[in-house]
Amino acid sequence: MKGAEDVESYLIQMEAEHEPIGDNVWVVKSGGADLVLSIADNVVVYRVKVMNLDQVPKTKREELYQTLLELNAAEMLHGAYGLEGDAVVATAALQLENLDFNEFQAAIDDLGLSVSNHYPTLSSLAA
């Protein structure tokens, strides 16, 4: 069964700048953003904080939520945008048991590319 050693191996193979910050948790520098990887049960969870919700005026929140839903439906391959507390985040989750290097890297690349491509649109709704 695959585990933390496999995730660490994939990060090394990618030559990704990363740092363990706890048991089964890593911070990966990806496209200028910090991607947090964690293992929960038999799932690898990918998470990137996009922006603080309080940056968006209340009058533009409905537009932000609609934009996030449209991006989820049309442009997110491995993950989705969501809200976590007072933050807009992009997340993905993949089963660890059968995860190969290509899938692992594709999820990181997809989240990093999505956030960098969508951030100008999302930040334009900020105050």
Quick check: pTM over 0.85? yes
Q: What is the pLDDT of residue 77?
A: 79
At 1, the pLDDT band (50, 70, 90 cuts) reads confident
Q: What is the pLDDT of residue 103?
A: 94
Q: What is the pLDDT of residue 59?
A: 96
Q: What is the pLDDT of residue 63?
A: 97
User: Containing H/E element for 38?
Assistant: strand 33-40
Nearest to 40 by CA among 27, 23, 28: 23
pLDDT digits (tens, 9 = 90+) for 50-92: 999 999 999 999 999 999 999 999 988 779 999 999 999 999 9
Q: What is the pLDDT of residue 14?
A: 94
Per the structure, the complete domain to which residue 47 belongs is given by 4-123
pLDDT digits (tens, 9 = 90+) for 2-19: 899 999 999 999 999 999
Residue 113 CA to residue 104 CA, distance in Å, equals: 14
Strand partners, 47: 36, 91
Question: Average pLDDT for residues 30-38, to the nearest whole number?
Answer: 85
CATH assignment at residue 16? 3.30.1460.10
Query: In the chain, how many domains are there?
Result: 1
Mean of all residue pLDDT scores within the chain: 93
Question: Average pLDDT for residues 89-106, to the nearest whole number?
Answer: 95
